[in-house]
Amino acid sequence: MKLITFLLVILVALTSIGADAAPKKKSKIKLKKRAQIVLPASEIAIGYPNTTVAYNALKTRTDVAIKPNAKPFGWQQRSGPWYVVNEQANIEWAFTEGGHYAHPSVIKRKIDIGSSDHVYVDMAFKCGAVDRDNCDKLLAEFKEVNLLIRKVYQKKYIQTADGAPAWDGVDSLD
């Protein structure tokens, strides 16, 4: 009787080991990688006490060029005129010129388009206009442009789980 009990215990033990070792069936459904939100290593900041100091500091640098009468990236038929400075590959400064409703103002943006995984636009804003409503209006315009930038690049790079573009709006930022 002890022998039969011993053999049953061994048989049950071997059966449970074999069940864990059996290969599991793989699902035939493939899941698409979803776009992930990527945050920058550090927040972007103007770094100067006012617009004039920022403009003069950039004007003295030899590694950047100030473009008068230019449009900030993604700026379609919106208010102007502007001075635009491109710093490094993905940092843009936009300064209002005299005659702009929110002058003097500066916007610094970091536009990070990282292959197919993320589109990130970070912005710092400093407005010296007397009428704060004009500052609010300019900030709202830039937020709209930043959203457009995200949407256009998401369309180009990011797809939904069924393989369709994540957005089907404007194709160009020109």
pLDDT tens, position by position, 27-86: 555 444 454 555 555 678 999 999 999 999 999 999 998 888 888 888 776 666 788 999
Q: What is the mean pLDDT of the chain?
A: 77
Could you tell me the two tokens for 110?
């970091």
Model's pTM, two decimal places? 0.66
Do residues 108 and 46 lie in contact, with contact meaning Cβ atoms separated by under 8 Å?
yes
Separation between Cα atoms, residue 66 and residue 128, nearest integer Å? 20
Cis amide bond preceding 104, omega within 30: yes
Residue environment code for 92-111, b if the CB has 16+ CB neighbours within 10 A, otherwise e:
bbbbbeeebebbbbbbbbbb
Give the pLDDT confidence of 131-157 residue by residue, as tens digits.
999 999 999 999 999 988 887 777 666
Q: Which residues contact 27 (CB under 8 A, 6 or more apart)?
A: none
- Whether the predicted pLDDT of 158 surpasses 80: no
Q: Which pairs from 77-82 meet CB under 8 Å and 24+ separation?
A: 78/141, 78/145, 79/138, 79/141
Separation between Cα atoms, residue 23 and residue 16, nearest integer Å? 14
Neighbours of 127 (CB within 10 A): 20
Q: How far is Cα of residue 98 from the mean position of the Cα atoms in its chain?
A: 31
- Whether the predicted pLDDT of 5 surpasses 90: no
**pLDDT of the residue at 49:** 94
Q: Are strands 105-114 and 91-96 parallel, antiparallel or unpaired?
A: antiparallel
